[in-house]
Chains A and B, each alone.
Chain A
Amino acid sequence: MTGFCFLHKDFSVFRNNGCCHLPVTLRRIRIYMRFFHQCLLLIFFSTGLFCASSHGQVLTGEDSLYAGLVAKEQSTVLSGYGEARYTLDTRRKNAEASLSRVVLFVGHKFNNKISLFTELELEDALVVGQQGDEAGIGKGGISMEQAFLKFNLTPTTYLVAGLFIPRLGIINENHLPTTFNGVDRPFVEQLIIPSTWREVGVGIYGGVRGIPGLNYSFSLTNGLNSGGFSNGSGIRDGRQLGSAATGLGLGASGSLLYYVDHFRFQVSGYIGGSTAVEKRVADSLQLNSGPFGNPVMLGEADGQYNNNGWSVKAIVTGINIPNAKNINLAYANNTPSGIYGGYAEAAYNLLYAKHGDAKTLALFGRYEYLDLNASIPKNALKNDANRQQYIVAGLTYKPIRGIAIKADYIQHITGEPNPALIITPFPQTVPYYTSNGFVNLGVAYNF
């Protein structure tokens, strides 16, 4: 309002200076100025009307979605994270550089009970280009990583509904690149627990009253698609990820998470149907249908310790697919019946003595073991290349919270691949190294 009065006053002065005696050019200028003045008035009143009709408020990452506590019922928040990497393959003498992911978080609080959480993810920078410089070279993917409504029942209990990430393992729910060591997410939590695993459904989360630190979750989502299972990637390619998931299959998962002193312990499990076709098709493929037809069972237990600059974590996990034989009959995808693995990691913040937790230069080491075909049905082929070890060592430097600069070395050791599974004949077959080293460099942010 002050600005408007100021402008108006200036124009009055202009008029009082005898503008009616001005030459034609100046008169035209006066007409233009009057038009400009009217436009300003229009913009002013439009803005005022917009402000008056809007109850919400756009905040930046500097503010919390819940800033204001009492007075501001509605608010909208922009936030995000991302990471870029460079990987040198020491045996193949090749390298890859990529903007691994950029995730944009948009949240909106409708009122004190209902909020919206969305995460839009672009992986590897470019999806597709039809024209111009980017034509035909896109290798990336774009997806909604989360989009759900959260309904608060009490200050510690809430429901979620939509596309969300069930609490399974460590990384699935907590996958921000500034929160874990190493450029890569732990491989056990990519290949066995297929992070980031999200599906459409509902979930309830809460804390157990009377036992501080004990939290629970239970969720019901759509099921898996066993047609997507493949040798060497476990159930990862059977995720439906909220993309028009088919079938009557359901997935039920639950967790118990307990914080005590400087420890965090968790057990979680999943059981879900994997028949993602209608009953008529399932019958013809001799697959069970229904909510838990051809079930997949996944379980894990993990523990973490953080104190005085030390950070230690470990996880064991396994998958059982009792009807793997029928899945192989239907899809010939060499589905195993048993998978298991685990890892242990220790890290120490070399800057802890001087900077506490505010700055980090973490020296870490991690050992991972996994067997993606620990047991197989009679109609599957064993592949020792699926028995893998990863020995990882490196540094994570965080000059401030929210920024991470990473460097690590990975030694990847596997068994010999089964020649019966090699379908590309010599000399086109790409050489396979049972022991290979990778040098990784990465940068990551979270705000």
Chain B
Amino acid sequence: MHCAGMLGISMLLQGCGTSVQLFKTNTRNDSVLVPVSAFEDGKNMVVVRVSGLENDILLVKKEDHYNALNLRCTHEGYGLTPTSKQIVCSAHGSTFDFDGNVLKEPALKPLKKFNTEIIDNNTIIIHLT
């Protein structure tokens, strides 16, 4: 009964939110490679978890480029959570848009952005430095 209740709540919550795919990878010469196919099925963002990096990177599909945002709050450095409308800090309530701009304090500075480029129309390179 308990489990059924939890399952029901979980399904309800999943219905409300947009699932963000988690893509795990490694660095290569201070760069991260993500296949464009990670954005299949109409997805417009992917969370990239890079082995050895402290934080995830949110890769957001724009019209002609990709934004790569460091998911670390510029207030006190807590990890951030992307939702369908914004990026939020569960610790102190800062919110950011998908360009990394601050929407709500206490964070005062925008998110760190990494340069990206697309090669051969099938791979996105995130430059960490």
Chain A interface residues toward B at CB < 8 A = 64-67, 69-71, 79, 105, 107, 109, 112-113, 115, 117, 152, 155-156, 158, 173-174, 176, 178-179, 205, 207, 209-215, 257-262, 264, 306, 357, 401-402, 446-447
Contacts and interface: CB of A to CB of B under 8 A. Distances in A.
A401 B13 contact: no
B92 A176 contact: yes
B84 A155 contact: no
A207 B129 CA distance: 28
Nearest to A115: B77
Given A174-B93, A178-B106, A259-B88, A212 B83 contact: yes
A178 B91 CA distance: 16
Interface in B77-129: 77, 79, 81-86, 88, 90-93, 95, 102-106, 108-109, 112, 128-129
Contacts of B128: 69-70
Interface residues of B, number: 44
Given A179-B105, A210-B19, A215-B90, 4 more contacts: A66-B72, A209-B22, A259-B90, A402-B105
B74 A64 contact: yes
B105 A176 contact: yes
B7 interface: no
Contacts of B5: none
A68 to B, nearest CB: 9
A397 B33 CA distance: 45
B105 A214 contact: no
A162 to B, nearest CB: 15
Nearest to A217: B90
A341 B87 CA distance: 31
A64 B106 CA distance: 13
Name, among B13, B56, B92, the residue most crowded by chain A CB atoms within 10 Å (CB to CB): B13
Interface string B19-41: 11010000000100000000000
A113 B77 CA distance: 12
A213 B14 CA distance: 10
B69 to A, nearest CB: 12
A260 B112 CA distance: 23
A212 B76 contact: no
A196 B66 CA distance: 41
A100 B17 CA distance: 40
Nearest to A260: B16
A38 B25 CA distance: 55
Contact of A155 (B10, B20, B56): B56
B106 A176 contact: yes
Contacts of B53: 69-70, 112, 155
Contacts of A112: 53-54
A57 B48 CA distance: 28
